[in-house]
Structure 1
């Protein structure tokens, strides 16, 4: 009988710094179980409870935040991984960790920090996640006493890496800053250039699934989305432009029309207006469940049709996402983007958030490290040049929650102004 030890070898289970076997009374956990526990108990994961998913955490008791989103991605990832033969703890840990690097104010804060950090390597939430896992999160140290973050296994770190390449000269997504390349290189030992392991692909697809159905759900419950208006051609035209602007630039209207038509055949898609009743909420929850099942089922079938029935791990296979499934997911994401992220109130709020991040960054840079958290001051003092010091300031701002960013700005910027 094939076991996890047969599917994942010693190199997959290796850690940057070897650790002694713990002598404890409890049952011995596998390396990947220990990795999952370390992420679950990390301060960085707890902070996600107060970070924006789409709507701010204070907008409503119902809406998702980054933590609840990550928990939902983890469940979807586990459900995809297990039937394919991937280690479910690996996929779940990657999903739990995938948003650790997000700064306050969601993608809006990410874009603001990227502009401010251009002279020190830019900012990317996925690269920040690697930095947190291997440097910033307090757990383990090397022989010289330097922090090595959670000291996760190679396979787990690789599964957490959505974009396994350094910052490209032409711009775009990436997974490692220049000063994190040593651990990135160690993590990628034996991997083909720019190829993602299967567990990372599972995490990425689970993120897309959860993001699409749950933002759609939140938008309806919050009164931002009325699914009935999608019958109007003028409304659809605007939504399809958002889909092209944000997700699928080359897709044509007829393919998006067909994708929406397929979504409407899901048995729990209701044509009636959402009225906030328990019955309506129950129907909406059943719709999200059915949509997740449809998306994951199509990918499982397509992947098995290509690779057969054996266990698939690491670089044995690639996740197969049918074009129709990708278009259906893009339709749901586009609806949420069009009616929530592009609403006039949301655009005005985002402008204020960007200004807050810029002002806070300027104050922290000018303070020469004196205003940083105690955990980051040594990093600032030991930095070799201005670029490295600015990177520490970026680390500080990225660690803040939405509420703490506002509080820091109120304390440091308003008082100095």
Structure 2
């Protein structure tokens, strides 16, 4: 049953460039489908989360992560009576703006772009879906609904202060009401991102042998989950034991969000999606107790995975790659592909830097490594 505070596709605010809608696909379904068919979405296949793309076929990529986030988001949206198509669209698009090499690549681009308006992956996602995807005859971008754009821009909450230029420029043309919370659907996408990466980072860290089950069984949620598996399945094969333990952690997070959010939504008295936007607080949350548990798990992962010696060596290497490519393209714009330099005045340093940033951020891990080797020898 659809809740009163769900986003109603029949009442969607429309697209920036008016289009005739379809009788057999809702506006939010079309948003989701356009994101899936976008070039930037396909490139997520060769962009990784923590490990660099060539390091192994079993680690999560941005694409597999986005699919996992969408699966979790659909489940939670369905349990809460929300629009699952809008939820899925925001979930699938939430990482479109990430550059190569995960958060390491983003850190490098943020520093390089500081004099030119900044870089932020959420703002870059907005630029991709409103401008950089150039396939349609009538408009640049994907011409998504206002609700989808709002969700991509502020699924993590209201956006204030000094905005990255990519978001500020678009918002000046098409007001996304950045000072309010997003729809409950977009909030579900944000929490589903947390659930997915908390789960799969544990799994990838174990697979990479950065730690083992004995190391994580002292952590909240994880220890009890593995204890239950051992009780139910004594002497279970280690691979199956790992899977059974982590799937229980995964289920605990999903269940907690559904139960906590259901209570918050009921308490809010919200009767429309506009009520959700103007409540002044999120309505999709973990419970305080589970959030405290997750902070312990994240602290463990930070120390033992994100800052593991082998990962730090790779972080330094890929940071050098981004730091080499950016000034090289700035000094020699002719090295950019023709489509990237066609509309850029090489004498306009800011415009050139933003074009270079767009080009580098769109690279996959593999292509960035290949281009660096080709251009620097």
Is TM (by shorter chain) over 0.5?
Answer: yes
Which range moves more in the overlay, 87-96 or 324-333?
Answer: 324-333
Alignment-derived partner of residue 168 in structure 1: 161
- Are residue 405 (structure 1) and residue 368 (structure 2) matched? yes
Alignment match, 1:396 = 359
Between the aligned partners of 1:69 and 1:311, the Cα distance in structure 2 is 31
Q: Among 90, 105, 109, which residue is 2:86 paired with?
A: 90
Query: Which of 175, 186, 202 is the matching residue for 2:175?
Result: 186
Q: Distance in 1 between matches of 2:266 and 2:172?
A: 37
Alignment partner, residue 70 of structure 1: 66
1:358 lines up with 2:323 in the alignment: yes
Aligned partners of 2:78, 2:30: CA distance in 1, in Å?
A: 18
Secondary structure in structure 2 of the residue aligned to 1:55 = coil
What are the Cα deviations for residues 317-373 of structure 1, in whole angstroms up to 9, with x where unaligned? 4213212222222333333222222112211221111111111111111123x2223
For 1:347 and 1:93, locate their aligned partners in 2 and report how far apart those are by CA, in whole Å.
33
Offset at 1:217? Answer: 0.8
Report the alpha carbon displacement of residue 220 of structure 1 after superposing the two structures with TM. Answer: 0.9
Show CA shifts across 1:128-170 (max 9, x none). 111111111123365xxxx53000011111122235666734x
Which residue, out of 133, 138, 144, partners 2:134? Answer: 138
Q: Rate the CA distance shift 1:261–1:20 in 2: closer, same or farther, 3 A.
A: closer
**Paired residue secondary structure (2:317):** helix
Q: Secondary structure at the match of 1:69?
A: helix
Q: How does 1:15-30 map to 2 (within 5 A)?
A: 15-21=15-21, 28-30=24-26
Q: Report the CA distance between 1:60 and its aligned residue.
A: 1.7
Aligned residues: 366
Pairing 1:198–2:152 present: no
Within the alignment, does 1:321 sit opposite 2:311 as a pair? no
Is the contact between residue 164 and residue 174 of structure 1 (CA under 8 Å) also seen in structure 2? Answer: no
Asked whether the equivalents of residues 108 and 350 of structure 1 are also in contact (C-alpha less than 8 Å), the reply is yes
SS in 2 for 1:290: helix
- Whether the 8 Å CA contact 1:121–1:177 is kept in 2: the answer is no
- State the distance in 1 between where 2:227 and 2:340 align: 50
Note the residue ranges of structure 2 that are not aligned, 5 or more in a row.
277-282
CA–CA distance in structure 1, aligned partners of residues 338 and 236 of structure 2: 48
- Of the three residues 40, 55, 58, the one matched with 1:59 is 55
Q: By how many angstroms is 1:225 displaced? A: 1.3
Q: Corresponding residue for 1:159?
A: 151
After superposition, the Cα gap between the structure-2 partners of 1:53 and 1:262, relative to the gap in structure 1 and judged at 3 Å, is: closer
Residue-by-residue CA offset, 1:234-256 (whole Å, 9 max, x unaligned): xxxxxxxxxxxxxxxxxxxxxxx
The answer (yes or no) to whether the contact 2:3–2:81 under 8 Å persists in 1 is no
2:215 to 218, 229, 232: 229
Aligned to 1:104: 100
Q: Distance in 1 between matches of 2:253 and 2:157?
A: 25
Cα distance, 1:120 vs structure 2: 1.1
Residue number among 225, 241, 244 corresponding to 1:283 in the alignment: 241
Q: 1:2 to 1:197 in 2, by over 3 A?
A: closer
Q: Distance in 2 between matches of 1:80 and 1:218?
A: 24
Q: Name the CA distance, whole Å, in 1 between partners of 2:208 and 2:273.
A: 40
| Contact in 1 for aligned 2:73/2:189 (Cα 8 Å) | yes
Q: 1:150 aligns with which of 139, 142, 148?
A: 142
Give the Å deviation of 1:208. 0.6
**Residues 219, 315 of structure 1: alpha-carbon distance in 2 compared, 3 angstrom cutoff:** farther
Cα gap change, 1:75 to 1:316, in 2 (>3 Å): farther
Q: Which residue of structure 2 lines up, in the alignment, with residue 210 of structure 1? A: 196
Counterpart for residue 239 of structure 1: none
Structure 2 CA distance for partners of 1:99 and 1:2, relative to 1, 3 Å:
closer
- Structure 1, gaps ≥5 residues long: 232-256
